[in-house]
Amino acid sequence: EAQVTQNPRYLITVTGKKLTVTCSQNMNHEYMSWYRQDPGLGLRQIYYSMNVEVTDKGDVPEGYKVSRKEKRNFPLILESPSPNQTSLYFCASSLSAVAHTEAFFGQGTRLTVV
Amino acid sequence: GNSVTQMEGPVTLSEEAFLTINCTYTATGYPSLFWYVQYPGEGLQLLLKATKADDKGSNKGFEATYRKETTSFHLEKGSVQVSDSAVYFCALRGSGGSNYKLTFGKGTLLTVNP
C-alpha cells in the first residue's frame, strides 16, 4: 500500500532534549516536506527536499533540522526543543515538485514540549 | 508570494444540506489548485484538484471549478452527510521558479448533524 509513515504519533518531551521524528515513503517520490499545523494558522512548511542530499528552508525553519540521505526517508530533528514547538507535524511526499502533482501526507505527530 | 484565503469556520449543517466553502487565491503564473480533507485524528488526503483555468475537479460528490477571472476555487456539495464532517483545506502549488511548496488556507471545520 502506498503510504507515508511517521513515527511516533504522539510524543511528550522536555525542553532541550533532542528528538527526531521519522518519515518514510514507499512511493519512490522525489519531493518531501515537513509541515506544522497550529490552530488558526493552518499548515506551514518547515523544510523541503527536492531529492537526495537536496534540502531547503520553508517558511518556519528556525529550531529544526532535516536530512535526506536516502530517497525514502526524511527525518525531522529538533536539536533543542522549546515549548513554542508544541504542534501537530505532518510529513508529505509527492512524485515531483511539478505544480499539478498530488501530495501524500503521513498520519501526523502530535508533539508536546514541556 | 502565494497565498490562499478560505472562509472561516466552523460551519455546521444538517444532513442533506448544500455546502459551499469559499476559497480565493493570490499567485503568479498558473498554479494548480487543490482541496484536501482532514478527518479527525488523520492526516490530510486529497479530495480533488484542478490544474488549469475552467477545470472542474470532482470526487465523492464534491466539486470545485478553477476560476482564473475571480481567482477562486470554491468547494461545493449538493447534499452533505454526517461522514463529511472534517476539516477542509484549500491549497495551491505554484507553476515555476521556487514555488514548489503547497500553500494552504487556514482550514474550515465542517460539522454535519443527523
By CB atoms closer than 10 A (0-12, 13-18, 19+), residue B7 is: middle
CB contact under 8 A, A105 and B95: no
- The pLDDT of residue B98 is 56
Among B57, B2, B64, B4, residue whose Cα is nearest residue B29: B2
- Predicted pLDDT of residue B114: 95
Residue B72 DSSP code: B
| Helix and strand element counts for chain B (H, E) | 0, 12
For residues A97 and B51, which has the higher predicted lDDT (pLDDT)? B51
Identify the helix (H) or strand (E) that includes residue B88: strand B86-93
Using the structure block, give the residue that is written with the C-alpha cell 499567485. B27
pLDDT digits (tens, 9 = 90+) for A72-96: 999 999 999 999 999 999 999 999 8
Question: Could you tell me which of A8, A14, A4 has the C-alpha nearest to residue A85?
Answer: A14
Q: Which residues from B are below 8 Å from A33, CB to CB?
A: 101-102
Residue of A nearest to B48 (CA): A102
Using DSSP's 3-state secondary structure scheme, residue A85 falls into: helix
Query: Confidence band (pLDDT; 50, 70, 90) for B50?
Result: very high
Over residues A12-36, mean pLDDT: 96
The three cell numbers of residue A41 are 494558522
Q: Which residues of A touch B42 (CB under 8 A)?
A: 107-108
CA distances from B21 to A25, A50, A74, B38, B54 (A): 31, 32, 33, 15, 18
A54 φ/ψ sector (left φ>0, alpha ψ -120 to 50, else beta): beta
Which residues of A fall within a CB distance of 8 Å from B44? 43, 90, 92, 103, 105
pLDDT of A100 reads 78
Is residue B66 predicted with pLDDT exceeding 70?
yes
